Chains A and B, each alone.
Chain A
Amino acid sequence: MSALSFRAARRTVPGVYLALVLTLAIGWLVVVLSGGTLFTQATVVSLLHVAAGLGLVAVGQTLVIIGGSLDLSVAYVVSLSTLVAAEAMNGSDTALLPGVLLALAVSAGIGLLNGLLIARTRIDAFIATLGVGLLLKGYLDSGYDGPAGATSPALVQALGYQRIGPVPMSFLLLAAVAAGAWLTLRRTRFGHHLLAVGGDPEVARLSGVRNDRVLVAAHVLCSLCAGLAGVYLAARLGSGAPRVGTEGIYDLESIAAVVIGGTALAGGRGGVAGTVGGVLLLAGLDAVFNQLQLDAFAKQVVRGVVIIGAVAVYARRVIGKGRS
Chain B
Amino acid sequence: MASLAAVIVLSLAGCSTDEPVTGPSGGPPSTGAGTGEQSKFFVSADYEAELAMLGATATGPAGKPWEQVLNPTMVDTASFKKAGPHKICFSNAALNNPWRQVGFKTMQAEVETHRDKIAEFVHVDAEGKDQKQIADINDLLGKDCDALIVSPNTTATLTPAVEAACRTGVPVIVFDRGVDTTCPVTYINPIGGYGFGHVGAEFVAQKMKPGGKVLALRILPGVDVLETRWSAAKLVFDRAKVDVVGVEFTDGDPAKTKKIVDDYLQRYGTIDGIWMDAGAVAVAAVEAFQDAGKPVPPINGEDQLDFLRMWKDQKLTAIAPTYPTYQWRTPIIAALRILDGEQVSNPWKLPQPTITEQNLDEYLDPDMPPLHYAMCGCTGLPGYPQRWK
Contact = CB atoms under 8 A, between A and B. Distances in A.
Q: Within 8 Å by CB, do A and B touch in the complex?
A: yes
B221 interface: yes
Contacts of B122: 293
A178 interface: no
A81 to B, nearest CB: 14
B17 interface: yes
Interface string A109-145: 0000000000000000000000000000000111011
B134 A236 contact: yes
B41 interface: yes
B141 A244 contact: no
B61 interface: no
A208 interface: no
Interface stretch (B154-162, B196-204, B277-285): B154-162
Nearest to B40: A145
Contact of B135 (A46, A91, A146): A46
B17 A161 contact: yes
Interface stretch (A66-74, A152-160, A197-205, A258-266): A152-160
B113 interface: no
Interface stretch (A35-43, A217-225, A311-319): A35-43
Nearest to B138: A46
Interface residues of A, number: 46
Contacts of A160: 19, 160
A286 B133 CA distance: 12
Interface string A164-188: 1110000000000000000000000
B222 A144 contact: yes
Given A41-B11, A290-B136, A146 B156 contact: yes
B227 A146 contact: yes
Contacts of A165: 11, 14, 16
A91 B28 CA distance: 12
Contacts of A166: 11
Interface centre among A47, A146, A166, A243 (most CB of B within 10 A): A146
Contact of A286 (B11, B128, B132, B156): B132
Nearest to A40: B142
A225 to B, nearest CB: 16
A241 interface: yes
Nearest to B137: A46
Nearest to B7: A41
Given A163-B18, A244-B131, A296-B95, A42 B40 contact: no
B132 A50 contact: yes
Contact of A238 (B127, B141, B159): B159
A288 interface: no
Contacts of A61: none
B127 A296 contact: yes
Contacts of B159: 238
B165 to A, nearest CB: 12
Nearest to B121: A293
A147 interface: yes
Given A146-B40, A156-B160, A293 B130 contact: no
A140 B222 CA distance: 9
Nearest to B29: A146
Interface in B8-31: 11, 14-19, 23-24
B24 A153 contact: yes
B154 A147 contact: yes
A53 interface: yes
A290 B124 contact: yes
B134 A243 contact: no
B357 interface: no
A297 B153 CA distance: 18
B142 A42 contact: yes
A147 B156 contact: yes
Contact of B131 (A53, A141, A164, A290): A53
B90 to A, nearest CB: 10
A45 B18 contact: yes
Given A163-B18, A244-B130, A290-B139, A239 B157 contact: yes
A142 B221 CA distance: 8
Contacts of B262: none
B131 A236 contact: yes
Contacts of B127: 296
A157 B17 contact: yes
Contacts of B15: 162-164
B144 to A, nearest CB: 10
B123 A50 contact: no
Nearest to B122: A293
Contacts of B248: none
A153 B237 CA distance: 41
B222 A247 contact: no
B342 interface: no
Given A144-B222, A238-B159, A241-B154, A162 B129 contact: no
B169 to A, nearest CB: 15
A278 interface: no
Contacts of B221: 141-142, 145
B129 A247 contact: yes
A161 B23 CA distance: 15
B143 interface: yes
Nearest to B224: A146
Nearest to A42: B142
Interface string A90-122: 010000000000000000000000000000000
B218 to A, nearest CB: 11
A156 B134 contact: no
Nearest to B124: A290
A237 interface: yes
A148 B155 CA distance: 11
A153 B222 CA distance: 24
Given A145-B227, A290-B136, A293-B124, A239 B156 contact: yes
Nearest to B227: A145
A296 B222 contact: no
Interface string B35-49: 000011100000000
Interface of A: 40-43, 45-47, 49-50, 53, 91, 140-142, 144-148, 150, 153, 156-157, 160-166, 233, 236-239, 241-244, 247-248, 286, 290, 293, 295-296
14 contacts: A45-B18, A46-B135, A146-B154, A146-B156, A147-B154, A156-B160, A160-B19, A161-B18, A161-B19, A162-B17, A163-B18, A237-B131, A237-B154, A247-B128
Given A91-B24, A147-B156, A247-B128, 10 more contacts: A141-B222, A161-B160, A163-B18, A164-B15, A237-B154, A238-B156, A239-B157, A243-B154, A247-B129, A247-B153
